[in-house]
Amino acid sequence: MLSTTERTRLGRAKHKARTGRTDLYDLLDAGSVCHLGVVVNGAPMVVPTGYGRIGDTLYLHGSTGARSLRAGGEVCVTVTLVDGLVLARSAFNHSLNHRSAMVYGVPRVVEDEEEALAALRALTEQFAPGRWDAVRPPTAKELAATRVLALSLEEASVKVRTGPPVDDEDDLGLPVWAGVVPVRQVFGAPEPDPGLASGTGVPEHVAALSGALAPPGGAAGAH
């Protein structure tokens, strides 16, 4: 079960709350970008960034010089997946079908090299499963220039909205179209780097993202 602290307990629309820890895992595993909220020099800063998950720990990374990773103290991380535009008969009742997670906590700086490598692997695999084993691993110099943060998923909440618009009864007879426009993320055909070495084709783990294959060194084409 997810935590029920004052910060994670929904004050409104409580029916949208999801309390299962698997709901949190599934949402995080389906996303690719989170927003890291920190306070830097007394001012709020929200940074979009990639992430990876291992068990009950969320990992973030960036340059050792990044202000957002050096701020210290508590942070708030959110992940949102938009599933549909909810168009109502009134402007007031428009909404989004979505799945969102909010995580609070004080991240720790990962000092152990083995854990840092595992975290970077999780971050890389979040974008394209199978990618880590296909690329050059980080060098000692690159690891030294990278700060990895580990954030516990202990204090987290999940909120989900589904279904059609909820209009006022008095508005139901208005001659205004209402409903849901589904939103889906799809991957296009891989576009090779112009400097790609001759004979290098699209690997299976990349092709699997969009079902696209390409001849060695050529442009990708969809099946």
Q: Is the pLDDT of residue 184 over 80?
A: yes
The DSSP element (H or E) to which 63 belongs, if any, is strand 57-63
- Spatial contact of 105 and 73, defined as CB atoms under 8 Å apart: no
Q: Examine the pLDDT at 193 and tell me if it is beyond 60.
A: yes
Average pLDDT, the chain: 92
Model confidence pLDDT, tens digit, residues 102-130: 999 999 999 999 999 999 999 999 999 99
Q: Is the pLDDT of residue 202 over 80?
A: yes
Measuring CA to CA, which residue among 123, 125, 83 is closest to residue 100? 83
Q: What is the pLDDT of residues 87-104, one digit of tens each?
A: 999 999 999 999 999 999
Element (H, E) at 25: helix 21-30
pTM of this structure = 0.90
CA 76 to centroid of chain Cα atoms: 14
- Tens of pLDDT, residues 20-48: 999 999 999 999 999 999 999 999 999 99
CA distance 86 to 169: 17
Tell me the pLDDT band of 222, cut-offs 50, 70 and 90.
Answer: very low
As given in the structure block, the two tokens for residue 218 are: 């050529």
CA distances from 44 to 36, 67, 132 (A): 10, 12, 34
Looking at residue 212, its pLDDT comes to 58
Distance of alpha carbon 80 from alpha carbon 84, whole angstroms: 12
